[in-house]
Amino acid sequence: MNIRKILTKEVISLDLQGTNKEQVIEEMLDILTAAGKVTNRKAAQKAIWDREKKMSTGMQNGIAIPHGKSDCVESLVVAVGVHKAGVDFESLDQQPAQFLIMTVSPANRTGPHIQFLAEVSRQLNDPSTRERILRAASKDEVIDILAG
């Protein structure tokens, strides 16, 4: 999968401001909406929150992957956010989430969504990669790191 085709500067935030899970998810939805990746914000929001209610998407190692499926997108859309202080995401290891990857994918397609998450998860499982992203000075640098 070519991460550079999916991940562009307008869907990356190096400085998420929300102080809790709800605020950060809404902030990331705003990023996708402002970038024109999501045309029906309410539908995307419902998909993300419906999934989050089933089980927190906070993983471990400071990673959270809020995601949902909706017909409001024709193909996989992604936003990446960095929260330097971290935010409680009810993660498996109880650590705050600093790296947030939000995806919305079409309801009838699973392949691209799984492929993208597998690739990004592989990158983020490396502690040095996470450290490089935290220190990244530009959105281009984050893309370069994740496209590894």
Residue 3 lies in a domain: no
Question: What's the pLDDT at 49?
Answer: 97
State the residue range of the domain holding 26: 10-147
Residue 54 lies in a domain: yes
Residue 47 lies in a domain: yes
Q: What is the CATH number of the domain that holds 133?
A: 3.40.930.10
Residue 1 lies in a domain: no
Q: For 51-98, what is each residue's pLDDT tens digit?
A: 999 998 999 999 999 999 999 998 999 999 999 999 999 998 999 999
Task: Say if residue 110's pLDDT is above 80.
Answer: no
Q: For 28-46, what is each residue's pLDDT tens digit?
A: 999 999 999 998 999 999 9
What is the rounded CA–CA span in Å between residue 90 and residue 63? 11
Residue 4 lies in a domain: no
CB atoms within 10 A of CB 107: 13
* pLDDT, mean over the chain: 93
Average pLDDT of span 4-11: 92
Residue 69 lies in a domain: yes
Q: Where are the alpha helices (DSSP H) in 3-126?
A: 3-6, 21-34, 41-54, 111-124
User: Domain count of the chain?
Assistant: 1
Identified catalytic residue from 37, 67, 83, 130: 67
* Residue 20: band (very low, low, confident or very high) from pLDDT cuts 50, 70, 90: very high
- Residues paired with 101 in a beta bridge: 80
Residue 75 lies in a domain: yes
What is the rounded CA–CA span in Å between residue 76 and residue 139? 20
Residue 113 a catalytic site member:
no
Question: What's the pLDDT at 4?
Answer: 87
**Lowest-confidence region among 17-31, 41-55, 102-116, 134-148:** 102-116
Residue 5 lies in a domain: no
